[in-house]
Amino acid sequence: MTPSTTPEHPQMPVEDFQELADAAPDGVRLELVDGRVHTKDPLSVEEFEELERRAPETVRLEYINGKLEVKAVPDGNHGEIFMWLLRQCMQQRPELNLMPERGVKAEAYRKGRARTDGFLAPVGHFRSHGEWSAPEGALMTVEITSHDRDTDQRDRIDKPVGYAAAEIPVYLLIDRDNNTVVVYSEPKDGRYQQTQSYPWGTTVELPAPVGITLDTEKLRDYAD
């Protein structure tokens, strides 16, 4: 399945949008266009964080490349893939935690706010952190694509740039549309210098400082 033929995630329900719009702080005006949320005016990081704090539990928000994004709610296969990865990380690097759905300050000058599917860091790293963690000390961020129309731009284009600009050593993309694992590494000047793609079923060596070997044969069970 290619990105161009990926089925779209259902549009945001009007009820969820209305609840989000009603909770928005003063000065933040939202609109729903073709099932997608937009801001009528430029949004600052501070305004986004306040909006995110007020958002209903059914809505997951990100601030990517200066734009408000609604991240798709994960489905069952998405969750199973995360647990597969978690088990391998815990078995090989028990001194690390793979924290699910962790917010991270991404992009240049920490101006982005990404809701990662996984954030790999030493045990205890997130103690006393607020909603959004600084990228310092992180070994790897993880994204597992969802079947929504924004995945291509968000996970394959915007997030590699945002994570590299934040100097996160490794970005692991588990791409369910192309049945591949993509490893981005060596961030420099706002770009990852190394990008390697592996088909599901192969052995993937995650580079330093991660140092984990992934047997991706199990991912074949979750091909959509």
Q: What pLDDT does 216 receive?
A: 97
Reported confidence tier of residue 11, pLDDT bands at 50, 70, 90: low
Tell which CATH classification among 3.40.50.300, 3.90.1570.10, 1.10.3470.10, 3.40.50.720 matches the domain 76-222. Answer: 3.90.1570.10
Mean pLDDT on 65-82: 90
Q: What pLDDT does 201 receive?
A: 97
Mean pLDDT on 51-55: 92
Mean pLDDT on 158-172: 96
Half-sphere exposure of 129 (CA within 13 A, CB side): 17
pLDDT for residue 6 is more than 70: no
Which residue type does 43 have? L
- Cα separation, 15 vs 218, in Å, equals 38
Q: Of 7-21, 26-40, 98-112, 162-176, which range is least confident?
A: 7-21
- Cα separation, 126 vs 97, in Å, equals 9
Q: How confident is the model over 178-199, as pLDDT tens digits?
A: 999 999 999 999 999 999 999 9
Q: What's the whole-model pTM score? A: 0.87
Mean pLDDT on 83-101: 97
Mean pLDDT score across all residues of the chain: 90
Q: Give me the torsion for CA of 43, 45, 51, 56, rounded to 10°.
A: 120
Report helix angle 14-23 to 45-54, nearest 10.
120
Cis peptide before 209 (omega within 30 of 0): yes
Domain regions of the chain by residue span: 11-58, 76-222
Helix or strand (DSSP H, E) at 133:
strand 132-133
